[in-house]
A and B are shown apart, each in its own frame.
Chain A
Amino acid sequence: MNNTIHVKNQEMINAFLLFFVIHTIQVGVGIHGFQRVIYQDAKQDAWISVLLVGIATHIIAIIMIKTLEIYGSNDLYGIHQDIFGKWFGNFLNLLYVLYCSTAFFSVLRNYIEVVQTWVFPNLSTWFISATLLLIVIYAFTGGLRVIVGISFFSFVLSIWLLPMLVYPLQFTSARSLLPIMETDIIGILKGAQSMTFTIAGFEILNVIYPFIKDKNKVQKHVHFGLLATTIIYLSVILVSITYFSPEQLNKSIWATLTLFSIVQFPFIERFEYIAVCFWMLVILPNLCLYLWAAYRGSIRLVKVNSTKFIWLFSVVIFMLSISIETRTQINAVNTYFSKVGFYVIFVYPILIYLLAIMKKKYRTRKEQKI
Chain B
Amino acid sequence: MKKIKLGFIFVVLFVSLVGCAEQKLLEQIGLTTLLGYDLREDDKLSVTAVVRQVNPEFQSNVEVISAENETIRGARTVINRKTSKKIVTGQMRVVLFGEEISKDGIAHNIDTLSKNSETSGGLYVAVVEGETKSLLEYQYQDIEDIGTHIFKLLEQNIKSEQIISSTIHEVAHDYYSPGRDVALPIIKRKEEIVEISGVALFNKDKMVGKLSAENSFYLKLARDFHKAAMFETKIPKESLPASQTQESQEDITVVIDTISTKKKLKLINPDTPEFDMHITVHGRLLEIEANMDMDNPKNVQKLEEEIEKSMSKNLAKILVYCQEVDSDVFGLGEFYRSSVRESNLTYEKWHEMYKDAKVNIKVDFTVLRSGIFE
Contact = CB atoms under 8 A, between A and B. Distances in A.
Contacts of A251: 114, 176
B109 interface: no
A244 interface: yes
B131 interface: no
Contact of A175 (B91, B173, B335): B335
A122 B209 CA distance: 43
A175 B265 CA distance: 11
Contact of B22 (A123, A175, A244): A123
B338 A245 contact: no
B103 interface: no
Given A245-B173, A264-B120, A120 B339 contact: no
A134 B11 CA distance: 11
A261 interface: yes
Contact of A262 (B90, B91, B167, B180): B167
A247 to B, nearest CB: 3
A212 B28 CA distance: 55
A171 B194 CA distance: 28
A269 B91 CA distance: 8
B90 A269 contact: yes
Interface string A322-357: 000000000000000000000000000000000000
Contacts of A122: 21-22
A274 B36 CA distance: 29
A248 interface: yes
A131 interface: yes
Given A134-B14, A171-B173, A262-B169, 20 more contacts: A117-B117, A123-B22, A127-B21, A131-B14, A176-B334, A178-B338, A179-B339, A179-B340, A179-B341, A243-B173, A244-B173, A245-B172, A245-B174, A245-B176, A248-B177, A251-B176, A258-B121, A261-B122, A262-B167, A269-B91
B304 interface: no
Interface residues of A, number: 29
B120 A176 contact: no
Contacts of A270: 90, 120
Contacts of A248: 114, 172-173, 176-177
Contacts, number: 69
A337 B21 CA distance: 31
A50 to B, nearest CB: 20
A182 interface: yes
A246 B177 contact: yes
Interface residues of B, number: 29
B21 A123 contact: yes
Nearest to B342: A182
Interface string B339-354: 1111000000000000
A262 B121 contact: yes
B170 interface: yes
Nearest to B176: A247
Interface in B142-164: none
The 5 closest A-B pairs by CB, nearest first: A247-B176, A245-B177, A178-B338, A262-B121, A248-B176
Contact of B117 (A118, A127, A171, A177): A118
Contacts of A243: 173
Interface string B155-196: 000000000000101101110111010000000000000000
Interface in A162-186: 171, 173, 175-179, 182
Q: Which of B14, B176, B335 has the most CB of A within 10 A?
A: B176
Contact of B177 (A127, A177, A247): A247
Contacts of A176: 334, 338
B140 interface: no
Interface string A108-138: 0000000001101011000100010010000
A127 B169 CA distance: 33
A346 B114 CA distance: 37
Contact of B334 (A117, A134, A175): A175
Contacts of B335: 175
A111 to B, nearest CB: 15
Contacts of A182: 341-342
Contacts of A127: 17, 21
B138 interface: no
Contacts of B321: none
Contacts of A173: 334
Contacts of A264: 120, 122
B234 to A, nearest CB: 33
Contacts of B341: 179, 182
Contacts of A247: 176-178
Interface string B301-342: 000000000000000000000000000000000110011111
27 contacts: A118-B117, A122-B21, A123-B21, A123-B22, A127-B21, A134-B14, A173-B334, A176-B338, A178-B339, A179-B339, A182-B341, A244-B173, A245-B173, A245-B174, A245-B177, A247-B176, A248-B176, A248-B177, A251-B114, A261-B120, A262-B121, A262-B167, A264-B120, A264-B122, A269-B90, A270-B90, A270-B120
Contacts of A171: 167, 169-170, 173
A246 B176 contact: yes
B36 to A, nearest CB: 21
Interface in A235-292: 243-248, 251, 258, 261-262, 264, 269-270
Nearest to A244: B173
A253 to B, nearest CB: 10
A270 B91 CA distance: 9
B141 to A, nearest CB: 30
Interface in A207-245: 243-245
Contacts of A123: 21-22
Contact of A261 (B121, B174, B340): B121
A317 to B, nearest CB: 18
A176 B349 CA distance: 19
A1 to B, nearest CB: 40
A128 to B, nearest CB: 9
Contacts of B342: 182
B338 A120 contact: no
Nearest to A176: B338
A175 B264 CA distance: 12
Given A175-B335, A179-B339, A262 B122 contact: yes
A262 B172 CA distance: 13
B120 A245 contact: no
Nearest to B341: A179
A138 to B, nearest CB: 10
